[in-house]
């Protein structure tokens, strides 16, 4: 059993569209536990720590600039979710990064649809509602970036008896 913690961000488009409750419900419904949660306005310095230079190396400076501007344009809901195989389970619920490729029933499949090509043509970010840590390394780095240790709560959910 791999008990893990992972970071999820409801991006400014998700917050502005009032999707926070629906998104949070999807994670809690499968038994993932919210151990940290806050609404934040992200400043550019923090955004650059989240969207590091490696994005520029992989996708180009324009993509990184779009991501930085997007995540700082409005409030973001940041949360740490905990559970068995949390990283993989969250990624499955979130869906493909490119919204148009995300399966129906996933968060991105249900709440966004813009393609990379459309975003590139319009020179805008792909507004795909949500961010989820990609792997264990990212989860460890991102949770430490977004939350201090004293912001993470340890408690028992009543349904944990079905897991442990």
- From 46, 50, 118, 131, active-site residue: 131
What is the rounded distance in angstroms from the CA atom of residue 57 to the CA atom of residue 47? 17
**Sign (positive or negative) of CA dihedral 18, 84, 135, 45:** positive
For residues 28 and 96, what is the distance between their CA atoms, to the nearest angstrom? 20
Q: Of 111, 143, 139, which Cα lies nearest the Cα of 126? A: 111
Alpha carbon distance 81, 14 (integer Å): 18
Closest by alpha carbon to 32, among 72, 11, 4, 68?
A: 4
**Distance (Å, rounded) from C-alpha 7 to C-alpha 36?**
9
Give catalytic status of residue 131 as yes or no: yes
Residues assigned a catalytic role? 131
């Amino acid at each position: 059993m791999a008990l893990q913690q992972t970071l999820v961000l409801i991006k400014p488009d998700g917050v502005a569209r009032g999707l926070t409750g629906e998104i949070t419900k999807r994670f809690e419904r499968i038994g993932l536990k919210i151990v940290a949660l806050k609404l934040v306005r992200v400043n550019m310095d923090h955004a650059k720590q989240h969207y590091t230079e490696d994005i520029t190396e992989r996708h180009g400076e324009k993509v990184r600039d779009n991501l930085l501007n997007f995540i700082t344009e409005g409030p973001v809901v940041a949360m740490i979710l905990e559970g068995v195989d949390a990283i993989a389970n969250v990624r499955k619920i979130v869906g493909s990064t490119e919204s148009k490729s995300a399966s129906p029933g996933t968060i991105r499949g249900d709440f966004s649809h813009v393609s990379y090509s459309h975003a590139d043509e319009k020179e805008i970010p792909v507004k795909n509602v949500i961010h989820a840590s990609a792997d264990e390394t990212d989860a460890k780095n991102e949770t430490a970036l977004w939350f201090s240790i004293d912001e993470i709560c340890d408690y028992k959910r009543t349904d944990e008896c079905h897991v442990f």
